[in-house]
Structure 1
Amino acid sequence: MSGQTYFITGGNKGIGFELVTQLSKASDKNVIITTTRSPERAKKLYELATKFTNIHVIDLDVGDAKSIDTIEAQLDKIGVKGIDVFISNAGIFASLDPILKTDADVFLRHYTVNTLGSILVFQKVYKYLLAKETRKVIFISSVAGSFSNTLPLDTTAYGQSKVALNYSAVQLSKELVSENFIVIPLHPGAVYTESAQVSLAPLVAARPELFANIKDLMLTPEESVKGVISVIDGLEPKDSGIFYDYKGEALPF
Protein backbone atom coordinates (compact mmCIF):
# COMPACT_ATOMS: atom_id res chain seq x y z
CA MET A 1 0.00 0.00 0.00
CA SER A 2 1.11 3.55 -0.72
CA GLY A 3 1.43 6.27 1.87
CA GLN A 4 1.80 3.94 4.85
CA THR A 5 4.19 4.23 7.79
CA TYR A 6 5.90 0.94 8.64
CA PHE A 7 7.96 0.01 11.69
CA ILE A 8 10.13 -3.03 10.94
CA THR A 9 12.56 -4.53 13.45
CA GLY A 10 15.78 -6.10 12.23
CA GLY A 11 16.08 -4.33 8.90
CA ASN A 12 19.82 -4.72 8.41
CA LYS A 13 19.76 -8.16 6.78
CA GLY A 14 17.70 -11.05 5.47
CA ILE A 15 13.92 -10.77 5.44
CA GLY A 16 14.00 -7.44 7.27
CA PHE A 17 16.33 -5.83 4.74
CA GLU A 18 14.22 -7.10 1.87
CA LEU A 19 11.05 -5.76 3.50
CA VAL A 20 12.66 -2.34 3.80
CA THR A 21 13.90 -2.53 0.21
CA GLN A 22 10.61 -3.51 -1.38
CA LEU A 23 8.44 -1.17 0.68
CA SER A 24 10.72 1.83 0.14
CA LYS A 25 10.76 1.21 -3.61
CA ALA A 26 7.00 0.62 -3.79
CA SER A 27 6.18 4.28 -3.14
CA ASP A 28 8.09 7.36 -2.08
CA LYS A 29 5.01 8.16 0.01
CA ASN A 30 5.72 5.18 2.26
CA VAL A 31 7.71 5.87 5.41
CA ILE A 32 9.82 3.01 6.69
CA ILE A 33 11.30 3.08 10.18
CA THR A 34 13.59 0.15 10.74
CA THR A 35 16.05 -0.99 13.36
CA THR A 36 19.49 -2.49 13.67
CA ARG A 37 21.26 -3.92 16.68
CA SER A 38 24.72 -3.37 15.22
CA PRO A 39 25.06 -0.18 13.16
CA GLU A 40 28.60 -1.19 12.23
CA ARG A 41 27.18 -4.29 10.51
CA ALA A 42 24.40 -2.42 8.71
CA LYS A 43 26.38 -0.86 5.87
CA LYS A 44 23.92 -2.03 3.19
CA LEU A 45 20.98 -0.66 5.15
CA TYR A 46 22.53 2.76 5.60
CA GLU A 47 23.44 2.86 1.91
CA LEU A 48 19.83 2.06 1.07
CA ALA A 49 18.64 4.80 3.43
CA THR A 50 20.89 7.25 1.58
CA LYS A 51 19.35 6.24 -1.73
CA PHE A 52 15.74 6.26 -0.48
CA THR A 53 15.04 9.16 1.84
CA ASN A 54 11.81 7.58 3.10
CA ILE A 55 13.88 5.13 5.20
CA HIS A 56 14.79 5.97 8.80
CA VAL A 57 17.12 3.74 10.83
CA ILE A 58 17.15 3.63 14.62
CA ASP A 59 19.31 1.65 17.05
CA LEU A 60 17.57 -1.23 18.80
CA ASP A 61 18.51 -4.49 20.45
CA VAL A 62 15.22 -6.34 20.94
CA GLY A 63 16.91 -8.58 23.49
CA ASP A 64 17.77 -5.65 25.75
CA ALA A 65 15.02 -3.96 27.78
CA LYS A 66 17.09 -0.77 28.21
CA SER A 67 17.50 -0.50 24.45
CA ILE A 68 13.76 -1.01 23.95
CA ASP A 69 13.13 1.85 26.38
CA THR A 70 14.80 4.24 23.91
CA ILE A 71 12.32 3.61 21.09
CA GLU A 72 9.92 6.44 21.89
CA ALA A 73 12.67 9.05 22.15
CA GLN A 74 14.14 7.93 18.83
CA LEU A 75 10.75 7.97 17.08
CA ASP A 76 9.95 11.39 18.49
CA LYS A 77 13.29 12.68 17.22
CA ILE A 78 12.39 11.53 13.72
CA GLY A 79 9.00 13.17 14.08
CA VAL A 80 6.87 10.04 13.85
CA LYS A 81 3.27 10.74 14.78
CA GLY A 82 1.73 7.42 13.87
CA ILE A 83 2.46 3.93 12.54
CA ASP A 84 0.19 1.98 10.19
CA VAL A 85 1.96 -1.39 10.17
CA PHE A 86 4.24 -2.92 12.80
CA ILE A 87 6.32 -5.86 11.61
CA SER A 88 8.20 -7.66 14.36
CA ASN A 89 10.90 -9.36 12.32
CA ALA A 90 14.08 -9.36 14.43
CA GLY A 91 14.88 -12.75 15.89
CA ILE A 92 17.44 -15.50 16.32
CA PHE A 93 17.73 -19.16 15.36
CA ALA A 94 20.98 -20.21 16.98
CA SER A 95 20.67 -23.89 17.89
CA LEU A 96 19.84 -27.24 16.30
CA ASP A 97 20.37 -29.17 19.52
CA PRO A 98 17.71 -31.54 20.90
CA ILE A 99 16.13 -30.80 24.28
CA LEU A 100 18.53 -33.02 26.24
CA LYS A 101 21.52 -31.11 24.89
CA THR A 102 20.16 -27.56 25.02
CA ASP A 103 21.52 -25.36 27.79
CA ALA A 104 19.31 -23.06 29.84
CA ASP A 105 20.93 -19.92 28.48
CA VAL A 106 20.08 -21.02 24.92
CA PHE A 107 16.40 -21.44 25.83
CA LEU A 108 16.35 -18.10 27.63
CA ARG A 109 18.12 -16.21 24.85
CA HIS A 110 15.64 -17.41 22.23
CA TYR A 111 12.68 -16.54 24.45
CA THR A 112 14.12 -13.15 25.37
CA VAL A 113 14.71 -12.12 21.77
CA ASN A 114 12.03 -13.92 19.77
CA THR A 115 9.10 -13.71 22.17
CA LEU A 116 9.57 -11.21 24.95
CA GLY A 117 11.47 -8.74 22.76
CA SER A 118 8.67 -8.72 20.21
CA ILE A 119 6.08 -8.08 22.92
CA LEU A 120 8.03 -5.32 24.65
CA VAL A 121 8.70 -3.52 21.38
CA PHE A 122 5.01 -3.67 20.54
CA GLN A 123 4.19 -2.14 23.91
CA LYS A 124 6.33 0.86 22.97
CA VAL A 125 4.85 1.38 19.49
CA TYR A 126 1.24 0.65 20.49
CA LYS A 127 0.34 4.31 20.99
CA TYR A 128 1.69 5.19 17.53
CA LEU A 129 -0.50 2.51 15.94
CA LEU A 130 -3.50 3.92 17.81
CA ALA A 131 -2.86 7.23 16.06
CA LYS A 132 -3.66 5.62 12.68
CA GLU A 133 -6.69 3.66 11.48
CA THR A 134 -4.78 0.83 9.75
CA ARG A 135 -3.48 -0.82 12.95
CA LYS A 136 -1.85 -3.94 11.48
CA VAL A 137 0.50 -5.92 13.73
CA ILE A 138 2.58 -8.68 12.16
CA PHE A 139 4.75 -11.04 14.16
CA ILE A 140 7.13 -12.88 11.86
CA SER A 141 6.86 -16.42 13.14
CA SER A 142 7.68 -19.87 11.80
CA VAL A 143 6.10 -23.20 11.01
CA ALA A 144 8.53 -24.44 13.68
CA GLY A 145 6.11 -22.87 16.15
CA SER A 146 3.25 -25.15 15.08
CA PHE A 147 2.35 -28.24 17.10
CA SER A 148 0.63 -29.72 14.06
CA ASN A 149 3.65 -29.63 11.75
CA THR A 150 6.73 -31.76 12.24
CA LEU A 151 10.11 -30.72 10.88
CA PRO A 152 13.12 -32.95 10.21
CA LEU A 153 15.22 -30.67 12.43
CA ASP A 154 15.62 -30.17 16.18
CA THR A 155 14.33 -26.61 16.41
CA THR A 156 14.02 -26.93 20.19
CA ALA A 157 14.70 -23.45 21.62
CA TYR A 158 13.66 -21.63 18.45
CA GLY A 159 10.46 -23.62 18.10
CA GLN A 160 9.48 -23.04 21.72
CA SER A 161 10.00 -19.30 21.36
CA LYS A 162 7.82 -19.21 18.25
CA VAL A 163 5.05 -21.21 19.93
CA ALA A 164 5.04 -18.58 22.68
CA LEU A 165 5.07 -15.80 20.10
CA ASN A 166 2.09 -17.33 18.29
CA TYR A 167 0.20 -17.56 21.59
CA SER A 168 0.97 -13.90 22.28
CA ALA A 169 -0.28 -12.86 18.83
CA VAL A 170 -3.59 -14.67 19.35
CA GLN A 171 -3.93 -13.20 22.83
CA LEU A 172 -3.32 -9.69 21.49
CA SER A 173 -5.82 -10.21 18.68
CA LYS A 174 -8.47 -10.80 21.36
CA GLU A 175 -7.34 -8.00 23.66
CA LEU A 176 -7.29 -5.41 20.87
CA VAL A 177 -10.35 -6.42 18.85
CA SER A 178 -12.39 -3.53 20.25
CA GLU A 179 -9.72 -1.11 19.05
CA ASN A 180 -9.85 -2.48 15.49
CA PHE A 181 -6.35 -3.96 15.44
CA ILE A 182 -5.46 -6.79 13.07
CA VAL A 183 -2.85 -9.01 14.73
CA ILE A 184 -1.38 -12.12 13.12
CA PRO A 185 1.64 -14.40 13.34
CA LEU A 186 3.06 -14.91 9.84
CA HIS A 187 5.33 -17.68 8.54
CA PRO A 188 7.54 -16.20 5.77
CA GLY A 189 8.48 -19.60 4.42
CA ALA A 190 11.86 -21.27 4.74
CA VAL A 191 14.12 -18.49 3.53
CA TYR A 192 17.78 -18.87 2.64
CA THR A 193 19.20 -15.79 4.35
CA GLU A 194 22.65 -15.13 5.77
CA SER A 195 21.36 -16.08 9.22
CA ALA A 196 19.85 -19.29 7.88
CA GLN A 197 23.19 -20.27 6.38
CA VAL A 198 24.86 -19.86 9.77
CA SER A 199 22.06 -21.67 11.63
CA LEU A 200 22.09 -24.60 9.24
CA ALA A 201 25.87 -24.92 9.07
CA PRO A 202 25.97 -27.85 11.56
CA LEU A 203 23.51 -29.70 9.33
CA VAL A 204 25.81 -29.37 6.34
CA ALA A 205 28.48 -31.39 8.14
CA ALA A 206 26.25 -33.82 10.00
CA ARG A 207 23.53 -34.57 7.43
CA PRO A 208 24.52 -33.19 4.01
CA GLU A 209 21.77 -35.06 2.13
CA LEU A 210 19.07 -33.61 4.38
CA PHE A 211 20.57 -30.14 4.04
CA ALA A 212 20.56 -30.46 0.24
CA ASN A 213 16.88 -31.44 0.26
CA ILE A 214 15.96 -28.56 2.57
CA LYS A 215 17.97 -26.01 0.57
CA ASP A 216 16.19 -26.99 -2.63
CA LEU A 217 12.89 -26.04 -1.00
CA MET A 218 14.04 -22.73 0.44
CA LEU A 219 12.95 -19.35 -0.88
CA THR A 220 15.01 -16.32 -1.68
CA PRO A 221 14.31 -13.27 0.50
CA GLU A 222 12.84 -11.56 -2.56
CA GLU A 223 10.32 -14.38 -3.13
CA SER A 224 9.33 -14.55 0.52
CA VAL A 225 8.90 -10.83 1.05
CA LYS A 226 6.85 -10.36 -2.12
CA GLY A 227 4.36 -12.81 -0.64
CA VAL A 228 4.57 -11.37 2.87
CA ILE A 229 3.75 -7.86 1.65
CA SER A 230 0.85 -9.17 -0.42
CA VAL A 231 -0.58 -10.90 2.65
CA ILE A 232 -0.17 -7.80 4.81
CA ASP A 233 -1.80 -5.56 2.20
CA GLY A 234 -4.80 -7.86 1.99
CA LEU A 235 -5.44 -8.30 5.71
CA GLU A 236 -8.97 -7.63 6.95
CA PRO A 237 -10.41 -7.63 10.48
CA LYS A 238 -11.68 -11.20 10.01
CA ASP A 239 -8.07 -12.37 9.61
CA SER A 240 -6.95 -11.25 13.06
CA GLY A 241 -5.66 -14.11 15.18
CA ILE A 242 -5.10 -16.46 12.23
CA PHE A 243 -1.67 -17.98 11.56
CA TYR A 244 -0.85 -17.28 7.91
CA ASP A 245 2.05 -18.14 5.64
CA TYR A 246 3.58 -15.96 2.93
CA LYS A 247 1.15 -17.41 0.36
CA GLY A 248 -1.86 -16.32 2.38
CA GLU A 249 -2.72 -19.86 3.46
CA ALA A 250 -3.91 -20.44 7.02
CA LEU A 251 -1.64 -22.70 9.08
CA PRO A 252 -2.57 -24.87 12.07
CA PHE A 253 -1.26 -23.92 15.50
Structure 2
Amino acid sequence: MSGQTYFITGGNKGIGFELVTQLAKANDENVIITTTRSPERAIELYELAKKFTNIHVIDLDVGDLKSIDTIEAQLNKIGIKGIDIYISNAGIFQSTDPILKTDADVFLKHYAVNTLGPFLVFQKVYKYLLTKETRKVIFISSASGIITKSYPLTLTAYGQSKAALNYSVIQLSKELASENFIVVPVNPGAVSTEAAKESIASLEATNPEFHKAILTRLITPEESVRGLISIISGFGAKDSGIFYDYDGEVLPF
Protein backbone atom coordinates (compact mmCIF):
# COMPACT_ATOMS: atom_id res chain seq x y z
CA MET A 1 0.00 0.00 0.00
CA SER A 2 1.57 3.27 -1.10
CA GLY A 3 1.67 6.11 1.37
CA GLN A 4 0.22 9.59 1.26
CA THR A 5 1.63 12.98 2.17
CA TYR A 6 -0.18 14.86 4.93
CA PHE A 7 0.16 18.46 6.08
CA ILE A 8 -1.24 18.73 9.62
CA THR A 9 -1.19 21.96 11.62
CA GLY A 10 -0.84 21.91 15.40
CA GLY A 11 0.80 18.51 15.79
CA ASN A 12 2.48 19.15 19.12
CA LYS A 13 -0.41 18.16 21.40
CA GLY A 14 -3.90 16.77 21.72
CA ILE A 15 -5.73 15.68 18.58
CA GLY A 16 -2.94 16.90 16.30
CA PHE A 17 -0.28 14.85 18.08
CA GLU A 18 -2.46 11.76 17.93
CA LEU A 19 -3.14 12.29 14.21
CA VAL A 20 0.59 12.46 13.54
CA THR A 21 1.25 9.40 15.70
CA GLN A 22 -1.40 7.16 14.19
CA LEU A 23 -0.66 8.16 10.58
CA ALA A 24 3.09 7.65 11.04
CA LYS A 25 2.52 4.20 12.54
CA ALA A 26 -0.10 3.17 9.96
CA ASN A 27 2.26 3.17 7.00
CA ASP A 28 5.97 3.92 6.92
CA GLU A 29 5.47 5.22 3.37
CA ASN A 30 3.22 7.98 4.68
CA VAL A 31 4.91 11.39 4.87
CA ILE A 32 3.63 13.64 7.64
CA ILE A 33 4.53 17.32 7.74
CA THR A 34 3.27 18.83 10.94
CA THR A 35 3.63 22.20 12.64
CA THR A 36 4.20 23.74 16.03
CA ARG A 37 4.26 27.40 17.01
CA SER A 38 6.29 26.71 20.13
CA PRO A 39 9.22 24.35 19.35
CA GLU A 40 10.48 24.64 22.92
CA ARG A 41 7.21 23.08 24.17
CA ALA A 42 7.01 20.37 21.50
CA ILE A 43 9.48 17.98 23.13
CA GLU A 44 7.24 14.90 22.68
CA LEU A 45 6.65 15.74 19.03
CA TYR A 46 10.36 16.03 18.28
CA GLU A 47 10.97 12.76 20.11
CA LEU A 48 8.29 11.15 17.97
CA ALA A 49 9.95 12.53 14.83
CA LYS A 50 13.21 10.89 15.89
CA LYS A 51 11.43 7.56 16.24
CA PHE A 52 9.54 7.83 12.94
CA THR A 53 11.61 9.26 10.11
CA ASN A 54 8.48 9.89 8.02
CA ILE A 55 7.54 12.80 10.34
CA HIS A 56 8.80 16.30 9.55
CA VAL A 57 8.21 19.21 11.94
CA ILE A 58 8.14 22.83 10.79
CA ASP A 59 7.62 26.07 12.70
CA LEU A 60 4.26 27.75 12.16
CA ASP A 61 1.98 30.11 14.04
CA VAL A 62 -1.30 30.01 12.10
CA GLY A 63 -2.32 33.31 13.67
CA ASP A 64 0.73 35.17 12.35
CA LEU A 65 0.99 36.30 8.72
CA LYS A 66 4.79 36.46 8.70
CA SER A 67 4.97 32.91 10.01
CA ILE A 68 2.52 31.68 7.35
CA ASP A 69 4.70 33.26 4.68
CA THR A 70 7.56 30.90 5.64
CA ILE A 71 5.65 27.71 4.80
CA GLU A 72 6.85 27.35 1.21
CA ALA A 73 10.52 27.83 2.10
CA GLN A 74 10.25 25.23 4.87
CA LEU A 75 8.52 22.72 2.58
CA ASN A 76 11.16 23.26 -0.09
CA LYS A 77 13.88 22.62 2.48
CA ILE A 78 12.31 19.25 3.29
CA GLY A 79 11.93 18.50 -0.41
CA ILE A 80 8.14 18.30 -0.47
CA LYS A 81 6.73 18.47 -4.00
CA GLY A 82 3.13 17.47 -3.37
CA ILE A 83 0.55 17.04 -0.61
CA ASP A 84 -2.37 14.61 -0.64
CA ILE A 85 -4.27 15.71 2.44
CA TYR A 86 -4.30 19.01 4.34
CA ILE A 87 -5.67 18.77 7.87
CA SER A 88 -6.20 22.12 9.56
CA ASN A 89 -6.10 21.21 13.24
CA ALA A 90 -4.37 24.07 15.09
CA GLY A 91 -6.77 26.15 17.15
CA ILE A 92 -7.37 27.87 20.46
CA PHE A 93 -10.10 27.89 23.12
CA GLN A 94 -9.13 30.51 25.65
CA SER A 95 -12.30 32.07 26.96
CA THR A 96 -15.68 31.14 28.43
CA ASP A 97 -16.64 34.73 29.23
CA PRO A 98 -20.06 35.98 28.11
CA ILE A 99 -20.27 38.43 25.20
CA LEU A 100 -20.60 41.48 27.47
CA LYS A 101 -17.37 40.58 29.25
CA THR A 102 -15.28 39.42 26.28
CA ASP A 103 -12.63 41.89 25.15
CA ALA A 104 -12.15 42.72 21.48
CA ASP A 105 -8.66 41.22 21.41
CA VAL A 106 -10.07 37.87 22.59
CA PHE A 107 -12.59 37.80 19.74
CA LEU A 108 -9.92 38.84 17.24
CA LYS A 109 -7.38 36.27 18.42
CA HIS A 110 -9.89 33.42 18.12
CA TYR A 111 -10.86 34.64 14.65
CA ALA A 112 -7.23 34.94 13.55
CA VAL A 113 -6.26 31.45 14.73
CA ASN A 114 -9.47 29.42 14.34
CA THR A 115 -11.01 30.98 11.24
CA LEU A 116 -8.68 33.09 9.14
CA GLY A 117 -5.43 31.20 9.79
CA PRO A 118 -6.63 27.82 8.44
CA PHE A 119 -7.53 29.38 5.09
CA LEU A 120 -4.39 31.49 4.80
CA VAL A 121 -2.34 28.35 5.41
CA PHE A 122 -4.40 26.57 2.76
CA GLN A 123 -3.55 29.33 0.28
CA LYS A 124 0.12 28.41 0.75
CA VAL A 125 -0.31 24.63 0.39
CA TYR A 126 -2.94 24.77 -2.37
CA LYS A 127 -0.43 24.40 -5.21
CA TYR A 128 1.10 21.33 -3.53
CA LEU A 129 -2.34 19.68 -3.34
CA LEU A 130 -2.87 20.40 -7.03
CA THR A 131 0.02 18.07 -7.90
CA LYS A 132 -1.89 15.08 -6.49
CA GLU A 133 -5.26 13.57 -7.38
CA THR A 134 -6.29 13.05 -3.74
CA ARG A 135 -6.94 16.74 -2.99
CA LYS A 136 -8.55 16.33 0.41
CA VAL A 137 -8.86 19.46 2.56
CA ILE A 138 -10.03 18.74 6.11
CA PHE A 139 -10.84 21.32 8.75
CA ILE A 140 -11.09 20.24 12.39
CA SER A 141 -14.14 22.19 13.47
CA SER A 142 -16.46 21.82 16.47
CA ALA A 143 -20.08 21.14 17.29
CA SER A 144 -19.78 24.46 19.16
CA GLY A 145 -20.03 26.16 15.77
CA ILE A 146 -23.46 24.71 15.00
CA ILE A 147 -25.82 27.68 15.05
CA THR A 148 -28.97 25.54 14.98
CA LYS A 149 -28.11 24.08 18.39
CA SER A 150 -27.46 25.70 21.73
CA TYR A 151 -25.38 24.44 24.63
CA PRO A 152 -25.62 25.39 28.32
CA LEU A 153 -22.05 26.62 28.12
CA THR A 154 -20.67 30.06 27.27
CA LEU A 155 -18.47 29.52 24.22
CA THR A 156 -18.65 33.06 22.79
CA ALA A 157 -15.39 33.74 20.89
CA TYR A 158 -14.64 30.05 20.27
CA GLY A 159 -18.12 29.12 19.05
CA GLN A 160 -18.27 32.21 16.88
CA SER A 161 -14.93 31.41 15.27
CA LYS A 162 -15.96 27.81 14.50
CA ALA A 163 -19.30 28.91 13.02
CA ALA A 164 -17.39 31.29 10.74
CA LEU A 165 -14.97 28.48 9.86
CA ASN A 166 -17.86 26.23 8.84
CA TYR A 167 -19.37 28.96 6.67
CA SER A 168 -16.09 29.43 4.83
CA VAL A 169 -15.58 25.68 4.39
CA ILE A 170 -18.93 25.44 2.60
CA GLN A 171 -17.92 28.27 0.28
CA LEU A 172 -14.48 26.77 -0.39
CA SER A 173 -16.04 23.42 -1.23
CA LYS A 174 -18.10 25.12 -3.94
CA GLU A 175 -15.19 27.19 -5.25
CA LEU A 176 -12.95 24.13 -5.67
CA ALA A 177 -15.52 21.59 -6.87
CA SER A 178 -14.47 22.01 -10.50
CA GLU A 179 -10.88 21.13 -9.51
CA ASN A 180 -12.04 17.91 -7.81
CA PHE A 181 -11.14 19.01 -4.29
CA ILE A 182 -12.90 17.34 -1.36
CA VAL A 183 -13.38 19.98 1.33
CA VAL A 184 -14.89 18.82 4.62
CA PRO A 185 -15.29 20.19 8.17
CA VAL A 186 -15.20 17.51 10.88
CA ASN A 187 -16.11 17.50 14.56
CA PRO A 188 -13.62 15.47 16.65
CA GLY A 189 -16.11 14.87 19.44
CA ALA A 190 -15.80 15.76 23.12
CA VAL A 191 -12.13 14.85 23.43
CA SER A 192 -10.33 14.62 26.76
CA THR A 193 -7.39 16.82 25.82
CA GLU A 194 -5.66 18.86 28.51
CA ALA A 195 -7.31 22.08 27.28
CA ALA A 196 -10.75 20.44 27.30
CA LYS A 197 -10.26 19.02 30.80
CA GLU A 198 -9.52 22.49 32.17
CA SER A 199 -12.64 23.97 30.57
CA ILE A 200 -14.84 21.08 31.70
CA ALA A 201 -13.52 21.23 35.27
CA SER A 202 -14.62 24.86 35.51
CA LEU A 203 -18.22 23.77 34.88
CA GLU A 204 -18.49 21.69 38.03
CA ALA A 205 -19.31 24.72 40.15
CA THR A 206 -21.24 26.79 37.60
CA ASN A 207 -23.22 24.11 35.77
CA PRO A 208 -23.02 20.76 37.61
CA GLU A 209 -25.69 19.01 35.51
CA PHE A 210 -24.00 19.81 32.22
CA HIS A 211 -20.62 19.00 33.78
CA LYS A 212 -21.89 15.51 34.65
CA ALA A 213 -23.46 15.05 31.21
CA ILE A 214 -20.35 16.02 29.26
CA LEU A 215 -18.15 13.72 31.36
CA THR A 216 -20.20 10.77 30.13
CA ARG A 217 -19.58 11.81 26.51
CA LEU A 218 -15.81 12.27 26.76
CA ILE A 219 -13.66 10.19 24.45
CA THR A 220 -9.89 9.82 24.32
CA PRO A 221 -7.75 11.45 21.62
CA GLU A 222 -6.94 7.92 20.39
CA GLU A 223 -10.63 7.10 19.89
CA SER A 224 -11.37 10.42 18.21
CA VAL A 225 -8.46 10.12 15.80
CA ARG A 226 -9.24 6.52 14.89
CA GLY A 227 -12.68 7.70 13.83
CA LEU A 228 -11.34 10.76 12.01
CA ILE A 229 -8.78 8.78 10.02
CA SER A 230 -11.43 6.23 9.10
CA ILE A 231 -13.91 8.76 7.73
CA ILE A 232 -11.25 10.92 6.05
CA SER A 233 -9.89 7.91 4.18
CA GLY A 234 -13.38 7.21 2.84
CA PHE A 235 -14.30 10.74 1.82
CA GLY A 236 -15.23 11.23 -1.83
CA ALA A 237 -16.70 13.99 -3.97
CA LYS A 238 -20.18 13.41 -2.51
CA ASP A 239 -18.91 14.37 0.97
CA SER A 240 -17.49 17.76 0.06
CA GLY A 241 -19.20 20.58 1.94
CA ILE A 242 -20.90 18.25 4.45
CA PHE A 243 -20.22 18.53 8.19
CA TYR A 244 -19.29 15.18 9.75
CA ASP A 245 -18.86 13.93 13.29
CA TYR A 246 -15.79 11.77 14.00
CA ASP A 247 -17.99 8.66 13.90
CA GLY A 248 -19.37 9.43 10.44
CA GLU A 249 -22.68 11.00 11.52
CA VAL A 250 -23.76 13.98 9.42
CA LEU A 251 -24.10 17.13 11.54
CA PRO A 252 -26.20 20.24 10.86
CA PHE A 253 -24.61 23.62 10.33
- After the TM superposition, which segments of 4 or more aligned residues of structure 1 sit over 6 Å from their partners? none
CA distance in 2, matches of 1:44, 1:160: 31
Encode CA deviations 1:28-71: one digit per residue, 9 max, x unaligned: 00000000010111111011000000000000001101000000
Match of 2:115 in 1: 115
Give aligned pairs, total: 253
Q: Compute the displacement of 1:96 (Å).
A: 1.0
Q: Distance in 1 between matches of 2:206 and 2:44?
A: 33
Give structure 2 stretches of 5+ with no counterpart.
Answer: none
Tell me the CA shift for residue 213 of structure 1.
Answer: 2.5
- Alpha-carbon displacement from aligned partner over 1:217-245 (angstroms, at most 9, x marks no partner): 11100000000000100001011000111
- The answer on whether the counterparts of 1:15 and 1:225 sit within 8 Å (CA) in structure 2 is yes
Q: In structure 1, how many angstroms separate the alpha carbons of the residues matched to 2:167 and 2:21?
A: 30
Partner of 1:175: 175
Aligned to 1:92: 92
* Distance in 2 (alpha carbons) for counterparts of 1:34 and 1:65: 18
Map Cα deviations across residues 122-176 of structure 1 (whole Å, 9 max, x no partner).
Answer: 0000000001100000000001111122212111110110011001111110000
Alignment of 1:105-144 (within 5 A): 105-144=105-144
Cα RMSD of the aligned pairs, angstroms, is 1.2
* Residues in 1 aligned to 2:48 and 2:208: alpha-carbon distance in whole angstroms: 36
Matches within 5 A, 1:197-216: 197-216=197-216
Deviations 1:67-125 (A, max 9, x none): 00000000000000000000000000111112122111111110000000101000000
Provide the identity percentage: 75
Deviates more, 1:143-152 or 1:235-244: 143-152
Match of 2:221 in 1: 221
Q: Who is 1:166 aligned against?
A: 166
Task: Check if 1:246 corresponds to 2:246.
Answer: yes
SS at match of 2:126: helix
Is the 1:87–1:137 contact (alpha carbons within 8 Å) kept by the matching residues of 2?
A: yes
- What amino acid is aligned across from residue 25 of structure 1 in structure 2? K
Instruction: Using structure 2 for the length normalisation, give the TM-score.
Output: 0.97
Between 196-205 and 37-46, report the one with greater CA deviation: 196-205
2:3 corresponds to which residue? 3
Task: Answer yes or no: is 1:103 the counterpart of 2:103.
Answer: yes
Deviation of the 1:208 alpha carbon: 4.2
Amino acid at match of 2:218: M
Is residue 191 of structure 2 the alignment partner of residue 191 of structure 1? yes
- 1:192–1:215 contact (8 Å) kept in structure 2: no
What residue in structure 2 maps to residue 34 of structure 1? 34
State the match for 1:236 in structure 2. 236
